[in-house]
Structure 1
Amino acid sequence: MSAVRRGFERGAKAAARFTGHPLCFGLAVLVVLAWVISGPMFGYSDTWQLVINTGTTIVTFLMVFLIQNSQNRDAAAVQIKLDELIRATRTAENALLDLEELDEDALERFRKRYEDLACQARDEAQRRGQPTGISAER
Structure 2
Amino acid sequence: MAAKNNFFEKFSNAATTFTGSSYAFLGALAIVIIWAVSGPVFKYSETWQLVINTGTTIITFLMVFLIQKAQNKDSKAIQIKLNELIAANKTTSNRIVNIEDLTEEELDRIHKYYEKLAEEAQEDADLHASHSIDAATKNQEEKSEYFRNDKH
State the superposition RMSD in angstroms: 1.3
Aligned ranges for residues 36-51 of structure 1 at < 5 Å?
A: 36-51=36-51
Structure 1 Cα separation of the partners of residues 34 and 55 of structure 2: 13
Structure 1's unaligned 5+ residue stretches are 131-138
Q: Percent identity?
A: 52
| TM-score in terms of structure 2 length | 0.80
**What are the superposed Cα offsets for residues 60-94 of structure 1, whole Å, 9 maximum, x if unpaired?**
00010011001100000000000000000011111
Q: Note if 1:34 corresponds to 2:27.
A: no
Structure 2's unaligned 5+ residue stretches are 128-152
Aligned length: 127
2:92 aligned counterpart, secondary structure: coil
Q: Which has the larger radius of gyration?
A: 2
**What are the superposed Cα offsets for residues 85-108 of structure 1, whole Å, 9 maximum, x if unpaired?**
000001111111000111111111
Q: Runs ≥4 in structure 1, deviation > 6 angstroms? A: none
Q: Which amino acid in 2 is paired with 1:113?
A: Y
Structure 1 Cα separation of the partners of residues 100 and 49 of structure 2: 45
Structure 1 Cα separation of the partners of residues 115 and 5 of structure 2: 41
What is the deviation of 1:7?
1.3
